[in-house]
Structure 1
Amino acid sequence: MKAKMEHKEKKIKKVWRNMNIGFKSDLHEI
């Protein structure tokens, strides 16, 4: 069970980082 949660957390962090990168590139385009 704990391993599943850790895997989910890693996935969320990856998505969050991708969103952050996308957000920064959006700001640069404005």
Structure 2
Amino acid sequence: GRRDGAGARPGPARRAGPRRAAGPTASGRRAEV
């Protein structure tokens, strides 16, 4: 599920790596979980 969340995001989150830092919003939290 983590990768799915990151893929749904614009993209920068996946590049950065740290989903937690790239997703301060609910979307980011979902990716982290």
TM-score, normalization by structure 1: 0.29
Q: Which has the larger radius of gyration?
A: 1
Greater relative contact order (Cα < 8 A, sep 6+): 2
Please identify which structure carries the higher helix content. Answer: 1
TM-score (norm: length of structure 2):
0.27
